[in-house]
Structures are given as C-alpha cells and as structure tokens.
Structure 1
Amino acid sequence: MKDGLMPASSHRIPFTVGSRRLLTIEREVATLAFSLQDILSKRIPPVPVLNNVEGLRVLSAPPVAETRLREAMPGFLVGAREEYARYYIDMAGTFEEYLARFSGKTRSTLRRKRRRMEKASGGALDLRAYRTPEEIDTFSQLALPLSRKTYQARLLDAGLPDNDAERAERRALAGNDQVRAFLLFLEGAPVAYLYLPVVRDTLVYAYLGFDPEHASLSPGTVLQMAALEALFEEDRFRYFDFTEGEGAHKALFGSASVRCASFVMLRPTLANRALLASLKGFDHAIGSAKRIAQRTGAEGPIRRLLR
C-alpha cells in the first residue's frame, strides 16, 4: 500500500448506551474510508501519512484490508472497533425484480404502510424529488428544520448538516448532477427527508430522518421505498450504498451485504492506552447490563427511558 496524505480532523470517540452518547473524547486523526467500489473490487486505498496526528480512523474495512493495515502499522493501538454487515442494493435489475426479493409478508407490510400514509395525506402520496441547485436550496430550507427534530440530530449529532460550507457543497454536487434528495409531505408539511450524494454510479445513503410526531405512520420506511421506485425508474445507478453501520432499516432494504469493521488505530501513548482501555471496560459493562435486562424483562422500559 502506498502512502497518501489526507487532511486530519477531530474525531469524537463515543461512550454510548443504546443510541445515546454519554461522553465523547476527541482525537486528531486521519481518515481512511473504504467505498463500496473499493470493497467489491478488493481494492485497498492508500494509507495516509499520519504526520503529527494521533492515529487513523478506519471506516468499513473488509477483513483482508484490516489485516494489511495492522501489518503496515505495527505497534498502533486498535480500539473502538465495531463489526457489521455493510448493506447495499444492486440496482442492475428493475424495481419489480427488487421487490421480488422480499417475502410476501414483508411486501404486504410495506404496501399497508404506504396506503396508511396515502390515506393520511388525502389519498395520494406527496413525495417530492430534488436534484438541481435551485431545487437543493429548497430542499435545504425545508429539510433542515425537520432534521433538528429527529433523534439522529438530538441524540447522535447526525442530522443533516446546517452550515454555509455544507449548503455550498450540496449546491455544488447538484450543479454536477451528483445528488438526489427527497421529501415526504403530510398535509403540506415535510415529515421525512432522504439525502443521497452520487459517486459515479452509486447512490450513497447519507442522511435519512423523520418527524418523531408521525412515527406511527412509518414515514422513513414509506419515503425510502417510494424513493427507490423513482431511482430504479431513472435507470442510471448500479448500486445503492447504505455505508457503514448496521440497522434494521438497512437490513430490510439492502439486497446484499459484506462484512466490514470500523475502528481507530492510535499511537501507543499512555493517554491513548487509558482511553481505549476505559472504552473497552465501559462497553463490557454495558453489554453485561444489557444481558441482565434481557433476562429480567427490563430492556424495553430502559430503552424507552434512554430515548
């Protein structure tokens, strides 16, 4: 693997319980992210030159790449490790062929959720698509207030970014036809959003959120399915990449997956050893508490309390 310089950034290593972050500790790191194309073609991106940063943040490394990284960076501490299936949709076929992969029960459930949303909307689904610079400006104006209500923004700091640089980037992508965005409306107000940058022939699942006041209508699920139908009809894209991390939503809609891991590799300083050891102990304690809650039937009430 060749060295390649990448800009450093401040990465917050989280101590989490469920979906709630209790504490984060920052480290200046370079980032090495594996795209879906990297993984499927078995390509390993260049390892960044670390210079004065504390280490490397690795996103979605397949097993062979993780082995190569450990060999290339002996002595570095590996921690904050998360294993998961990276889900994606192969869009080579038609939307009907994609639907056929679902069980009859799941297809029925998805249709029922759509019909319920249509009924609440007055008989028709109010889905709006955005892709030009002017349309993306409109999308930002409507989606940003909605994003602030979502649990992704409130608990995970993962809402749609709201600053001048991000707005300019969204507009620039739209100017190059490199973004697709969708809003689902209910009685004239947006209740769910989906934002998808485009990398060559791949749609990247960047941001999805919905108004928690309308959670009973499953707006995120309805929006995802309706957007996929429109994207299949466009017949331009080969993959829909759900990126790193697992989740029920990704598992439901993904048609295939690859095993990956995300982690940090830090210089072997005393402070970094203490940080990763503390995180490992914290995660072990939370895992033990979760198993006890499952055995005693307390898991549901605890989840509701954390939310």
Structure 2
Amino acid sequence: MTVWERRDVPFKFQLSDMTLFSVRIPLQVRSERLVADTPPTHELRVPADALLAGSQGYVVRGLPVEGEPRVLSKVGDFICYVPQQYHHCYIDLSQTFEQYQKKFSSKTRSTISRKIKKFADHCGGQVKWKLYREPGEMKEYFALARAVSKLTYQERLLDAGLPESDEFQREAEQLAAAGRIRAWILFDGERPVSYLYCPVADGVLSYSYVGYDPAYMDKSVGLVLQWIAVEQLFSEGIFKYFDFTEGQSDHKRLFSTHQRRCANVFFIRDSLRSRAIVFAHRKVDSLSVWAGEMLERHGLKAKLKRLLRGAG
C-alpha cells in the first residue's frame, strides 16, 4: 500500500532565487525512493489511492520518466502539472573509494586536489573537519551549523536554511540514536565555514541541508567538505547510496555516479482556484526562465548569482 503524507504544499512564485510570495494547496505527497528502483513511466496517471480527508490532489516527487512529459495537461478530473523535470543525481556507495575516483578525469581529479590543497594552505597546512553522528553531539553541531546557515543565500533568499527549532533538533537526536544521521562541519581554525546534514533511511543518505559561509566562496569550501564526506562514507562501507535529491546542479553532476530522469508531478483537482494558481505559477516560472536566459546572453547571470549569494 502506498504511504501518503498530507501537507499544505507551497507554490512558490520565484524570480531566480528570490521568492515573491507563495500560495499553499492541501495535497497528499509521496516520494519515489532510490531503493525502490521504480521503472520510468511514459504516461502520467492519477494515483489509484483515495484522497485523504481535506486533500485536493496528489504530489509524486522524483518520479522516473521517459522523454519530456507535458508541463500542463488535463487527466480526468485533475490538472496534471509538471513544474520540475531534472536528472536525479546519486552516488553508488557499494564500490570502493578508489573505484569511485576513477569516474573523474585526470584533469578533474587534479582540480579537486588543487582546491583542497589551497584551502589546507589557507588553514596553515591541514584541513580541519568533524563528523557528527551521536545524539550527544547534535547540540554542538546545530550551534555551529546554524552560525553558518544564517549567512547563506539558502536561508536569506530561499527560506531553506538548516532549521533551528527545538523540535527539529530533537528529531535529529532521535535519528542519531538509531544510527541514522551523518553530519559534517568544515572549519577554518575554530570558525565553522561549511556544513552538510544527511539523514539516513533504508541505507540511503539524503543531501538535505548544506551551506557555506559566503566569505569563503572563493575557497571552494562546499566542494572540499563534499569530498571529505564522500571519502568518509566509503570508508564506513555500510550505505547503499548518497542521494542528491531533486533538482540538478553542476556540483551534483560532478560528484554523482548515476543520473536518472525524474519529474515532480502534481495532480490537483480541477477548480477555478487551482487553475488560477497553477497557470499563474507556470507564467511566473516561464518569466523567470526567460529572465535567466536574457541575463546569460548578456553575461550577467553568473555575476548576479555571486552578488545575491555573497551579499550579507
């Protein structure tokens, strides 16, 4: 039986990284899991499961697909909306670290080594980092990671920083007690400069929260910490995959061993309100893409991103 979770799902109206506003629709949500090895589908169908009380539809995240599904269509009594299609990146951890390194070209390995050495030289010759995995370590981890998260563009612009609630920290402690947390901090001396937080389910680590101090943007501290984390996970040898979750980026493509084409698919019961929300969301999204293409054409996109991510 499929397990659904009812949520008030936000539709964020964004231009690039900036959220203008959001509208919520009560929907029931599930995510396709890597370990399920779901075959790709070429036809999007409304789930057969009954709607939960108060739910106005379904969301299936990370659904493997063939080709490129239509962004908007009508399926029975539902609007089918596919706002995100991407290559889902992940690392197969069943191999050795030596085998993993062979996926990189000699030029890329040299570049990674050079960036790690550059940061080590900045720190006086040695890279300092710490793995947090025990319940008693979570308080220290959150104090350090939150100090970095408050500086990141994820928190300032996307409202996606590391949560600071007591409830979230208690949940982390419970996961740690069950051996289901791996979290890292990278330091410059005693100063935390980058963090990575990965809960574990069914032997799969999820790339859930990540960030770095924008003052260290030119020192590639995110890449340095990712490399350290991956090497440490291979040394443990107990996990199946490192899941970069939905969305794609150069960072995820660089470190992944596999990619599969996926989509986030919404089936929303047809109504005037849902049509207005979905169509408006689609228009704003298209405008954002157009604006990004125009900035790229004039050589301004990368500069604007650096400005937004580095601004305090």
Q: Residues 41-190 of structure 1 correspond to what in structure 2 (within 5 A)?
A: 41-42=38-39, 47=49, 49-63=51-65, 74-79=76-81, 81-190=83-192
The Cα of 1:280 is off from its aligned counterpart by 1.7
- Is the contact made by 2:83 and 2:282 (CA closer than 8 Å) also made in structure 1? no
- Give the aligned residue type for 1:285: L
The Cα of 1:291 is off from its aligned counterpart by 3.2
Question: Cα deviation per residue 1:145-200 (whole Å; 9 max; x = unaligned)?
Answer: 21111111111111111112111110000001111111001021110011111112
CA distance in 2, matches of 1:218, 1:287: 27
CA distance in 2, matches of 1:78, 1:167: 36
- Is the contact made by 1:50 and 1:56 (CA closer than 8 Å) also made in structure 2? no
- Give the aligned residue type for 1:281: K
1:34 corresponds, among 25, 28, 32, to 32
Question: Cα deviation per residue 1:129-160 (whole Å; 9 max; x = unaligned)?
Answer: 11110112221121112111111111111111
Change (3 A) 1:3 1:128: closer
CA distance in 2, matches of 1:54, 1:234: 43
2:19 corresponds, among 14, 18, 21, to 21
1:12 corresponds, among 7, 10, 14, to 10
- Is the contact made by 2:16 and 2:288 (CA closer than 8 Å) also made in structure 1? no
The Cα of 1:116 is off from its aligned counterpart by 1.0
Change (3 A) 1:187 1:293: same
Q: Residues 217-236 of structure 1 correspond to what in structure 2 (within 5 A)?
A: 217-236=219-238
- Give the aligned residue type for 2:117: R
CA distance in 2, matches of 1:185, 1:300: 27
Aligned equivalent of 1:278: 280
Q: Which runs of 5+ in 2 are unaligned?
A: 42-46
The Cα of 1:8 is off from its aligned counterpart by 1.9
CA distance in 2, matches of 1:190, 1:297: 33
The Cα of 1:296 is off from its aligned counterpart by 3.8
RMSD of equivalent CA atoms: 2.5
Correspondence 1:257 to 2:255:
no
Q: Whose helix proportion is higher, 1 or 2?
A: 1
Aligned equivalent of 1:289: 291
Correspondence 1:201 to 2:199:
no
- Is the contact made by 1:181 and 1:194 (CA closer than 8 Å) also made in structure 2? yes
SS in 1 for 2:20: strand
Question: Cα deviation per residue 1:12-57 (whole Å; 9 max; x = unaligned)?
Answer: 101112222122111122111111112x254999846333222222
- Is the contact made by 1:80 and 1:276 (CA closer than 8 Å) also made in structure 2? no
- Is the contact made by 1:80 and 1:279 (CA closer than 8 Å) also made in structure 2? no
SS in 1 for 2:61: strand
CA distance in 2, matches of 1:9, 1:279: 19
Give the number of equivalent residue pairs. 300
- Is the contact made by 1:60 and 1:262 (CA closer than 8 Å) also made in structure 2? yes
- Is the contact made by 1:60 and 1:261 (CA closer than 8 Å) also made in structure 2? yes
> Matched residues, percent identical?
35
SS in 2 for 1:8: strand
TM-score using structure 2 length:
0.88
- Is the contact made by 1:3 and 1:49 (CA closer than 8 Å) also made in structure 2? no
TM-score using structure 1 length:
0.90
Moved over 6 A (4+): 43-46
- Is the contact made by 2:35 and 2:202 (CA closer than 8 Å) also made in structure 1? no
Question: Cα deviation per residue 1:227-281 (whole Å; 9 max; x = unaligned)?
Answer: 1111101111121111111111111111101110013221101011011111222
Change (3 A) 1:285 1:9: same
- Is the contact made by 1:60 and 1:244 (CA closer than 8 Å) also made in structure 2? yes
SS in 1 for 2:150: helix
CA distance in 1, matches of 2:134, 2:302: 44
The Cα of 1:302 is off from its aligned counterpart by 4.5
CA distance in 1, matches of 2:20, 2:165: 25
- Give the aligned residue type for 2:224: V
Change (3 A) 1:299 1:149: closer
CA distance in 2, matches of 1:238, 1:97: 15
Change (3 A) 1:33 1:104: same
- Give the aligned residue type for 1:75: D
Q: Which runs of 5+ in 1 are unaligned?
A: none
